[in-house]
Amino acid sequence: MSHKILMPIGDATEVMDTLYPFFRLQEEGFEVVIAGPEARLYHGVMHEVPPDASIPWDITREQPAYHVRATIAFRDVNPADYFGILISGGRAPEYLRYDEHLLDITRHFFKTDKPVAMLCHGVEIPAAAGCLIGRSATTVAKCALDITQCGGHYVDQPVFVDGNLVSARGWHQNGEFLGEFCKLLRAKM
């Protein structure tokens, strides 16, 4: 089996959730393959709570960021060719969770006990695929319902590992998150 890692994305993928893992996994010797609903260029976004205290926000503000190219469409992915999957966040998972090809791909990784990483809104895809039943995971607090409503247990920690699944609240945990994911990947080699 090759050591390819699949990264599903779409328009409004959070670039810090996506690009840091993209480069970090390559540094570890993995081939990272970015997939989307179609093989094309996607619009990334950046989410942050604006630092200006005179204009309070109680949720992140979204603005345009880098573009990211998917080299394969979900319908053309054979998940057996991949060693693991990393599901990034942003708003993309809100609509990607309706893609039956992506849901089937996601189920494959859970059923075969391959390493799975998800952060922030990325939780919405495994939740929609029915993969979090009886599992424990973390995410950004506003997405905790995505875990609990589908029969999982929300853990209020920055990063959490449950078997083959490593989850994180968001890109602020990228260092620890990718460290734990790399441990899972190396253990399967």
With a cut of 90, say whether residue 53 has pLDDT above it.
no
The whole-angstrom separation of Cα 20 and Cα 29 is 15
Binning pLDDT at 50, 70 and 90, where does residue 1 land?
low
The whole-angstrom separation of Cα 85 and Cα 93 is 14
Nearest to 34, CA basis, from 66, 84, 68, 3: 68
- Give the lowest-confidence range in 1-5, 11-15, 77-81: 1-5
The whole-angstrom separation of Cα 133 and Cα 118 is 15
pLDDT for 49? 76
- The two three-digit tokens of residue 15, written as one number: 């670039």
Dihedral angle computed from the Cα positions of residues 77, 79, 81 and 85, in that order, rounded to the nearest 10 degrees? 100
Nearest to 116, CA basis, from 22, 108, 32, 23: 108
With a cut of 80, say whether residue 81 has pLDDT above it.
yes
- What DSSP designation does 42 have? E
Q: Which fold has domain 4-188?
A: Rossmann fold (3.40.50)
Average pLDDT, stretch 146-151?
A: 97
Q: Are strands 159-162 and 136-137 parallel, antiparallel or unpaired?
A: unpaired
Triad 142, 115, 30: Cα angle to 5°:
110
pTM of the model: 0.95
pLDDT for 118? 98
pLDDT for 48? 82
Residue 163, Ramachandran bin (φ over 0: left; ψ between -120 and 50: alpha; else beta)? left
Of 109 and 64, more confident: 109
The whole-angstrom separation of Cα 39 and Cα 126 is 22
Other C-beta atoms lying within 10 Å of the C-beta of residue 52: 8
Other C-beta atoms lying within 10 Å of the C-beta of residue 176: 13
